[in-house]
């Protein structure tokens, strides 16, 4: 069930900031003790470190976006299901043959209208294959 509310609004603002590839907007939407957890279980804690991580990722995948198909909200917990996609770039150039897409899910925890935790569940194999071709 999708419910309106502050947790839902905060998470969708975060998604829009991702889709604009804006580390500054993401930073403004994170709690100070924000935790990012990738699909391999690696954790980055603290919004300064997480912002640096987003900056690096957007450097590697300058057109990274997520398309949300379903949203489920239960209090401060928001689950999102959809697709992650982008184009891997070693040099800033976006070449169509380096594009990738994968089904994905995200788990967000909201605290006082800010994102306290952002966890990604996705198969990284599509981007790994592109990266391997570009070594």
Q: What's the pLDDT tens digit per position in 37-54?
A: 999 999 999 999 999 999
Look at residue 4 in the predicted model and tell me its pLDDT.
46
Q: What is the pTM of this model?
A: 0.92
Q: Which residues contact 98 (CB under 8 A, 6 or more apart)?
A: 87, 88, 89, 130, 133, 134
The whole-number pLDDT of residue 2 equals 40
The whole-number average pLDDT for the span 122-132 is 87
Q: What is the structure's pLDDT at 64?
A: 97
Taking 3-state DSSP, the helix, strand and coil percentages for the chain, each rounded to the nearest 5, stand at: 35, 40, 25
Residue 1 covered by a domain? no
pLDDT number for residue 68: 98
Mean pLDDT, rounded, of the chain: 93
Residue 108 lies in a domain: yes
The number of domains in the chain is 1
3-state secondary structure of 25: helix
Give the model's pLDDT for residue 61: 96
Query: HSE of 23 in the Cβ direction (CA atoms, 13 Å)?
Result: 14
- The domain that holds 13 is classified in CATH as 3.10.450.50
Residue partners of 116: CB distance under 8 A and separation at least 6: 30, 31, 33, 34, 35, 76, 109, 110
Check residues 33 and 129 and name the one with the higher pLDDT. 33
Q: Which domain holds residue 128?
A: 6-133
Instruction: Give residue-wise pLDDT tens across range 62-116.
Output: 999 999 999 999 999 999 999 999 999 988 889 999 999 999 999 999 999 999 9
């Amino acid at each position: 069930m999708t419910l309106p509310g502050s947790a839902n609004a905060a998470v969708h603002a975060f998604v829009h900031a991702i889709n604009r590839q804006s580390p500054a907007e993401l930073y403004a939407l994170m709690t100070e003790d924000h935790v990012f957890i990738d699909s391999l279980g690696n954790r980055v804690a603290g919004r300064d470190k997480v912002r640096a991580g987003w900056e690096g990722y957007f450097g590697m995948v300058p057109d990274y976006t997520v398309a949300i198909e379903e949203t489920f909200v239960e209090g401060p917990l928001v689950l999102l299901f959809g697709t992650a996609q982008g184009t891997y770039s070693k040099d800033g150039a976006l070449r169509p043959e380096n594009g990738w897409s994968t089904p994905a899910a995200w788990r967000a925890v909201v605290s006082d209208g800010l994102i306290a935790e952002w966890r990604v569940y996705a198969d990284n194999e599509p981007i790994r294959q592109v990266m391997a071709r570009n070594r």
